[in-house]
Amino acid sequence: MTKKLILIKLGGSLITQKDKPYTSNPQVIKRLALEIKKAQSNKYQYIIAHGGGSFPHISAKKYKTKLGLINKQSLKGLSLVQQDAFKINRIVNQIFTKANLNVLSFPPSSFIYSNNQKLYSIYSDPITQALRINATPLVFGDIILDKQLGFTIFSGEKILNHLASNLSQKGYQIKKIIQCGITNGVYNSKGKTIPKITPQNFSEIKKSLQGSASTDVTGGMAHKVKESLDMAQKYSNVYIINGQKKNNLYQTITSNKNLGTLISA
């Protein structure tokens, strides 16, 4: 068993349809699964995270779930957002299993607890044992019970970041982090891909970054870059690539080519 990990995030906007709520992109999910399968080697293991896209974000926006227990409808909203987050996870899980990836789902609402939107506790015994037996943990953006707010929402990136921190402490090495979205990396204000973001040029670049164009309660591209820079500083290079382009994911797993934006410390 290797203790070297590649973390892969599949964006919600990539695996679901922005304009059709509760509609996934099964062909895209299948292709990504096959690229991951094809790239598989005994040199490292994967942890895969996905976003919720047009599944949970609608209820999450309606009930303001990220803010926690704010009114009488909040609890109902919480149940619905969890349901919707699980729905897209079930789709990804089934397509991945059919592609012969032995994935196991770990819903973050069951193993992470927060306090005022910061991590309070995390439990990873089952996830590390899954890695030990060569199963692939599948996590996702989910509701998170929160000590102060009642509950909140953590994005797929945030979940990966906290898992990376926990697993690093347990002796795992994060070799590479790959974020697949629907853009050719991070765009500047003119719509051109920024090849590299570092702590040095981030403050300048930040001005041109915007939130997500779709209904994304977790903050869109600005949030994604911020989490990525944090992960790059703590663990390893983060590659932001276009998952809609065939073989981008495969190539990024198997080589160090930068096909989009490289976020590096």
Binding site for its own copies (CB under 8 A): 69, 75-76, 78-80, 82-83, 86-87, 90, 93-94, 97, 100, 102-107, 109-113, 120-121, 123, 125-126, 129-130, 133-135, 143-147, 150-151
The neighbouring-strand residues paired with 153 are 143
Minimum distance, C-beta of residue 6 to its own copies, in the bound complex (Å)? 19
Measured from the CB atom, is 63 or 235 closer to its own copies? 63
Minimum distance, C-beta of residue 265 to its own copies, in the bound complex (Å)? 31
Measured from the CB atom, is 146 or 157 closer to its own copies? 146
Minimum distance, C-beta of residue 44 to its own copies, in the bound complex (Å)? 17
Measured from the CB atom, is 10 or 99 closer to its own copies? 99
Measured from the CB atom, is 21 or 244 closer to its own copies? 21
Minimum distance, C-beta of residue 69 to its own copies, in the bound complex (Å)? 6
Measured from the CB atom, is 62 or 206 closer to its own copies? 62
Minimum distance, C-beta of residue 159 to its own copies, in the bound complex (Å)? 12
CB burial string 143-173: b at 16+ within 10 A, e below = bbbbeebebbbbbbbbbbbbbbbbbeeeebe
State how far the Cα of 218 lies from the Cα of 224, in Å rounded to an integer: 9
Q: Residue 64: left (phi > 0), alpha (psi -120 to 50), or beta?
A: left
- Beta strands 45-50 and 4-10 are parallel
Measured from the CB atom, is 112 or 209 closer to its own copies? 112
Minimum distance, C-beta of residue 102 to its own copies, in the bound complex (Å)? 4
